[in-house]
């Protein structure tokens, strides 16, 4: 399965752009978000934060198919993403740039860039980021589509992390925990996922943390909490 | 109007014909904007060509994705035969029109017996004396040809040539647009499947794990065994579980260690 990868996706972008970190994620819906690669923990954490909160520049870039530029994350006027604006202050990111990854009319995900100092990308860097987003989108779409499908009857690749990912952490436990809550609380999938999300938000931890505890059966969410 | 003399002005007054041509183009455009059936559209195109242009018969050949030509529509069995012949032998004015992307005019089929030893005699036998083939082309890409067959020798009038090309152009853009949309839909569906199928399997594992008090690995083994035994797609069963159209009891063998509720760990914070 490794053969489908033709090279790292994030590192070339980090080399070519005046940014602190880069992450690339596939997006398909609120539950179907997964980070393919990240150049550092902050870049990965910013993706997870946006997935957990269900808001942030990456979702806006993905939905609008246009780049979203936030030259200063600490500016108070970020009413577009109130939860993200607050949470991001605990990270070392000060500027954030989200580029939609699409090939023709097919949207596959986002490329997120962060800087540890505030400031907009200059003209050439902005242009370069747009060009790189196009190349990353094509490569990512190619990786995803050329990966062997999950074996219909459940072959060796089923139940494994998506083969197009480079990042070691995956979100499978979140989906497993979602399923456990569905069975335990007799909830549809969206509501079960919302319960995980709500618990994480209330406890100030990530959805992955809550999910890990649910899967390990050290945490049970009761029926009406 | 088929088979009328070249001087169509005698048969049908200019404005009437122009009006009907505009109507035909509007009908084509309307069809293309809404959903349409490709074969029906092609039949409309050949019918309207014979109705409005100085042609006894019309036929349409279209290339598939691999460049293989196929007869999509024709106003008569006679033209269909001629086009099939050209496709099979790779020779004839319609075939040349497709390969060159340029309109082809054969003023007198009888004079082409040397050039097309198979096509010319058959065309004459079917009663066709001249042929005008119009490319279905968009920029550098030719996808087929609209072929007009006449019972008289001679050229098609300039106005008819332009009208034929206009009809072919509108149809071509519609076909290309539909193909592009279909390709995009296919890619989007594949992508959607790739990005969601693993998620659904993990969710299904979670459902079974909780219900049967199983580890995730054991839950997956049960899911996989059920899929194989019933020759069903793993992702399909997983999706049904997640959509709650299938119950865990169907998947798990009876007595697959269901943990009593009170043996679950106590609720924590």
Within the 151-170 window of chain B, which residues sit less than 8 Å (CB to CB) from chain A? none
Distance CA A54, CA A33 (A): 10
Residue with structure tokens 């109130």? A82
| pLDDT score for B3 | 43
Distance CA B211, CA B224 (A): 16
Q: Mind listing the pLDDT tens digit for each residue in A57-77?
A: 999 999 999 999 999 999 877
> How many Å lie between the alpha carbon of B19 and the closest alpha carbon of chain A?
38
Distance CA B45, CA B63 (A): 16
Q: Give the Cβ contact number of residue B20 at 10 Å.
A: 15
What are A87's two structure tokens? 């949470």
Across the A/B interface, how many CB contacts are shorter than 8 Å? 141
Q: Give the Cβ contact number of residue A107 at 10 Å.
A: 21
Per the CB < 8 A criterion, the answer to whether B132 and B150 are in contact is yes
Q: How far apart are the first and last CA of chain B?
A: 86
B191 touches chain A (CB under 8 A): yes
| pLDDT score for A166 | 85
| pLDDT score for B255 | 60
> How many Å lie between the alpha carbon of A92 and the closest alpha carbon of chain B?
30
Q: Mind listing the pLDDT tens digit for each residue in B93-150?
A: 888 999 999 999 999 999 998 888 888 888 888 889 999 999 999 888 899 999 999 9
Chain A residue with the nearest C-alpha to that of B201: A159
**Which chain A residues are closer than 8 Å to B240 by Cβ?**
none
Q: Is the model's pLDDT at B264 over the cut of 50? A: no
Least confident of A174-178, B81-85, B258-262: B258-262
Chain B residue with the nearest C-alpha to that of A102: B188
**CA-only gyration radius of chain B, Å:** 30
> How many Å lie between the alpha carbon of A213 and the closest alpha carbon of chain B?
10
Distance CA B39, CA B34 (A): 15
- Kindly give the interhelix angle for A172-185 and A189-203, rounded to the nearest 10 degrees: 110
b/e map A114-134, b = 16+ CB within 10 Å: bbeeeeebeeebbebbeebbe
Confidence of residue A15 (pLDDT cuts 50, 70, 90): very high
Among B234, B242, B268, beta carbon nearest to A219: B268
A183 and B224: CB-CB below 8 Å? no
**Which chain B residues are closer than 8 Å to A200 by Cβ?**
none
| Long-range Cβ contacts of B66-70 (<8 Å, 24+ apart) | B69/B95, B69/B98, B69/B144
Per the CB < 8 A criterion, the answer to whether A145 and A106 are in contact is no
Within the 35-94 window of chain B, which residues sit less than 8 Å (CB to CB) from chain A? none
Q: Is the model's pLDDT at A134 over the cut of 70? A: yes
The closest of A218, A220, A196 to A207, measured between CA atoms, is A196
| pLDDT score for B262 | 40
A104 and B198: CB-CB below 8 Å? no
Distance CA A48, CA A34 (A): 8
| pLDDT score for B41 | 84
Per the CB < 8 A criterion, the answer to whether B90 and B119 are in contact is no
**Which chain A residues are closer than 8 Å to B198 by Cβ?**
150, 158-162, 172
Q: What percent of chain B is modeled with pLDDT above 70?
A: 88
**Which chain B residues are closer than 8 Å to A108 by Cβ?**
191
Confidence of residue A122 (pLDDT cuts 50, 70, 90): very high
ipTM score of complex: 0.90
| Secondary structure class of A107 (helix, strand, coil) | strand
A153 and B233: CB-CB below 8 Å? yes
| pLDDT score for B15 | 63
To which H or E segment does residue A140 belong?
helix A123-146
To which H or E segment does residue B35 belong?
none
Q: Is the model's pLDDT at B10 over the cut of 50? A: no
B133 touches chain A (CB under 8 A): no
A161 touches chain B (CB under 8 A): yes
Q: How much is the average pLDDT of A156-182?
A: 86
Among A106, A154, A183, beta carbon nearest to B211: A183
Within the 79-138 window of chain A, which residues sit less than 8 Å (CB to CB) from chain B? 103-106, 108
| Secondary structure class of A115 (helix, strand, coil) | strand
> How many Å lie between the alpha carbon of A198 and the closest alpha carbon of chain B?
14
Q: Mind listing the pLDDT tens digit for each residue in A94-115?
A: 999 999 999 988 999 999 999 9
Q: Is the model's pLDDT at B54 over the cut of 50? A: yes
What are A52's two structure tokens? 């957990």
* E-state strands within B76-221: 104-106, 130-138, 141-150
| pLDDT score for B179 | 84
B261 touches chain A (CB under 8 A): no
**Which chain A residues are closer than 8 Å to B197 by Cβ?**
149-150
A101-110, A111-120, B185-194: which is most confident: A111-120
What is the pTM assigned to this prediction? Answer: 0.71
**Which chain B residues are closer than 8 Å to A154 by Cβ?**
220, 223-224, 227-228, 234
| pLDDT score for B63 | 87
Q: Is the model's pLDDT at B269 over the cut of 60? A: no
A218 touches chain B (CB under 8 A): yes
A220 touches chain B (CB under 8 A): yes
**Which chain A residues are closer than 8 Å to B189 by Cβ?**
none
B216 touches chain A (CB under 8 A): yes
């Amino acid at each position: 399965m490794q053969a489908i990868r033709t090279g790292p996706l994030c590192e070339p972008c980090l080399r070519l752009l005046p940014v602190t970190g880069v992450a690339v994620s596939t997006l398909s819906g609120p539950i179907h978000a997964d980070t393919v690669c990240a150049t550092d923990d902050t870049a990965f954490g910013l993706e997870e934060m946006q997935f957990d909160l269900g808001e942030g520049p990456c979702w806006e870039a993905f939905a609008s198919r246009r780049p979203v530029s936030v030259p200063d994350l600490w500016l108070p006027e970020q009413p577009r993403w109130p939860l993200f604006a607050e949470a991001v202050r605990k990270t070392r990111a000060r500027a954030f740039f989200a580029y939609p990854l699409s090939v023709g009319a097919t949207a596959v995900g986002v490329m997120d860039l962060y800087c540890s100092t505030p400031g907009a990308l200059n003209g050439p860097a902005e242009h370069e980021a747009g060009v790189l987003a196009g190349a990353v989108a094509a490569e990512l779409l190619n990786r995803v589509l050329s990966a062997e499908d999950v074996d219909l009857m459940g072959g060796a690749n089923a139940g494994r992390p998506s083969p197009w990912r480079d990042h070691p952490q995956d979100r499978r436990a979140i989906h497993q925990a979602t399923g456990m809550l569905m069975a335990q609380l007799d909830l549809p999938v969206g509501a079960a996922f919302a319960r995980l999300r709500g618990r994480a938000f209330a406890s100030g931890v990530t959805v992955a943390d809550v999910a890990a505890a649910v899967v390990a059966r050290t945490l049970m969410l009761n029926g009406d909490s | 109007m088929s088979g009328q003399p070249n001087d169509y002005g005698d048969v049908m007054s200019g404005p009437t014909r122009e009006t009907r041509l505009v109507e035909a183009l509007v009908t084509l455009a309307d069809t293309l904007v809404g959903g349409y059936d490709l074969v029906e559209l092609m039949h409309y195109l050949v019918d309207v060509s014979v109705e409005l242009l100085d042609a006894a018969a019309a036929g349409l050949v279209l290339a598939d994705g691999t460049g293989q030509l196929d007869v999509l529509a024709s106003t008569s069995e006679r033209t269909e035969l001629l086009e099939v012949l050209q496709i099979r032998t790779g020779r004839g004015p319609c075939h040349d029109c497709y390969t060159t992307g340029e309109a082809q005019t054969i003023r007198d089929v009888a004079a082409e017996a040397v050039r097309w030893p198979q096509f010319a005699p058959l065309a004459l036998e079917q009663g066709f004396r001249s042929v005008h083939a119009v490319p279905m082309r968009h920029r550098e890409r030719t996808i087929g040809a609209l072929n007009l067959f006449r019972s008289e020798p001679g050229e098609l009038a300039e106005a008819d040539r332009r009208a034929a090309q206009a009809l072919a152009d509108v149809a071509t853009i519609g076909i290309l647009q539909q193909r592009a949309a279909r390709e995009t839909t296919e890619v989007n569906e594949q992508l959607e499947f790739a990005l969601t199928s693993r998620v659904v399997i993990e969710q299904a594992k979670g459902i079974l794990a909780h219900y049967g008090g199983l580890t995730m690995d054991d839950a997956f083994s049960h899911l996989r065994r059920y899929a194989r035994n019933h020759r069903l797609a793993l992702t399909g069963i997983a999706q049904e579980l997640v959509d709650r159209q299938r119950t865990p009891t169907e998947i798990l063998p009876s007595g697959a260690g269901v943990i009593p509720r009170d043996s679950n760990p106590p609720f924590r914070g």
